[in-house]
Structure 1
Amino acid sequence: MRRAPVGLLLFLLLLLPAPPARPATVPAAAGEVLHYRWRLQGLLGGVAGLFLPRQGEATLCQRPLESGHQVSELYLVAGHGEDGQFFRYGAEIDPASGVTVRAWSSYRWRGEAKAREAEVGQAGVVDIASGIQALRRDPPTGTRVLEIWSDGRVYPVLVLPGATRRQLLRGEPVTVRAYSIRGLSRPERRTWKGRLDLWLADDPAATPMEIRVQRSLADLVLTLAP
């Protein structure tokens, strides 16, 4: 059986996060669930398609906990014919302080399963899942410096607002603005090699119309389902 290079698989697992780690408290009332279609593209995305699914469906979920914290998860399932195969990436967030309390990722693919979790607990630090929600809660009007947790390390990143475009959301035209999170080079710090691009609608929920996670030569692209 063909196996992908270890480095490539690790990269994809960082981007495509199993069942989530158990929350510290019982979930309260149901929150928000957004449905997406995802695909892999780019040079490494094509190579990965030999070993991993290249497209499927996804959900971005946000739900409150009784503690007042929130759980945000990005859950991806493979296309038809890949039953039981999935990736999940999530975080527990304290909205009052903006702290990402915990982050986890897991997957099940071709009979293999793996899950990992880490305590983060630092102010101003986000991961992929909590970073999406942080920009929705407080979209920047100018550049902003944050820290991102990725694979057990914390990196400085720069948030940049971008151009606007018009799109349909639930049949109605809305203005959509681009935001980009990129690695920030500092002499004393490691530089994050990834990139997170969001297109947020100018509606009360700041609905993510498109999410793009990039690293090296591969892109994970999620578009909001009609």
Structure 2
Amino acid sequence: MDTSVKGLRAAKVAETQERILDAARALFVRDGYHATTLTAVAERAKVGHRTVYVRFGTKAALLRGVVDVAVGGDAERRTVGEREWFQVALTGQALVDRVDALVGGTADLMARAGDLFEVVLQAQASEPELAEAFQAGRADTRELLRRFVRTARADGLLAEVSDPVWQEETVALAGQAETYLLLRRTTGWGDGEYRDWLRRTLVEVLAPA
């Protein structure tokens, strides 16, 4: 097959998938997990009903796809740990550079995906696949943030503390999706206030007076 034809077909497939994911995000956030159907997603995306079933199979798989795009910020298959902002958080010259990168990346991620995390929390009681995926996300976040602290310590950017494990776990807790959601629910803060809170928390935990 001519490469130009292959390219056009690939672009069409990608465009269709983007429409499906955009439609699914809008419906999941507006109507919740249980009220959203694959048929409704297909109609909103203006694609055949079978197209959604063939590409995703189940509603749980579709929500996972939507969340993955929101977390990454694009459709590239790269983990958070492989993203440029997190690499800067591990390698920046000064602690302030690393904290700024981590805060910026985390706050942007929450702004994109926070509403969808709420949907996953709604759905996980009846969808073991989503519950398992969300628990895996918690574990991955914890490990990445503990790695951030350990790397800064190994690079000589942190003052000595009596309890480095407490320091690692506190930073890890601050960056969890459920911490963001709880703050949003209980304080009414927007993304700017969350960003400021996260920066202050990290600075005070990592650089105690």
> Higher strand fraction: Structure 1 or Structure 2?
1
Say whether the fold is shared (TM-score over 0.5): no
Q: TM-score range by the shorter chain?
A: under 0.3
Q: Tell me the TM-score normalized by structure 1.
A: 0.22
Q: Tell me the TM-score normalized by structure 2.
A: 0.23
> Higher helix fraction: Structure 1 or Structure 2?
2
Larger-Rg structure: 2
